[in-house]
Amino acid sequence: GQNIDQPTEMTATEGAIVQINCTYQTSGFNGLFWYQQHAGEAPTFLSYNVLDGLEEKGRFSSFLSRSKGYSYLLLKELQMKDSASYLCGVMDSNYQLIWGAGTKLIIKP
């Protein structure tokens, strides 16, 4: 079966760095997405990785290792507004998006 695993909840301190991991087992691979979702709102796009390596976008970076079925989202200089759920999604061989359950990130002052 297809499976996406990410931690349920993480806590970090304002100004610090946090890494949210995602492992996946899917039928084929056509890219991995990270989305941010604040409570009650739709997800917003953060990153898309299809090749191995690190993609950096400002305070957020995303890493992919296809051979390991592994990705992480790295958030630097954490701000209170970064408190949200972070969703990892993988596009399989049929171009269907398979979603993880999301990681709730709690930022403390």
Partner 1 sequence: GAVVSQHPSWVICKSGTSVKIECRSLDFQATTMFWYRQFPKQSLMLMATSNEGSKATYEQGVEKDKFLINHASLTLSTLTVTSAHPEDSSFYICSARELRDSGEAFFGQGTRLTVV
The stretch among 11-19, 40-48, 58-66, 76-84 that binds partner 1 (CB under 8 A) is 40-48
Integer Cα distance of 58 and 16 in angstroms: 15
Q: Is 100 in the site for partner 1 (CB under 8 A)?
A: yes
At residue 80, the 3 state secondary structure works out as: helix
Shortest Å, Cβ 107 to partner 1: 19
Q: Are 67 and 18 in contact (CB under 8 A)?
A: no
The stretch among 10-18, 21-29, 43-51, 60-68 that binds partner 1 (CB under 8 A) is 43-51
50: which DSSP letter?
-
One of 35, 63, 72, 86 touching partner 1 (CB under 8 A): 35
One of 42, 67, 81, 109 touching partner 1 (CB under 8 A): 42
Integer Cα distance of 69 and 23 in angstroms: 6
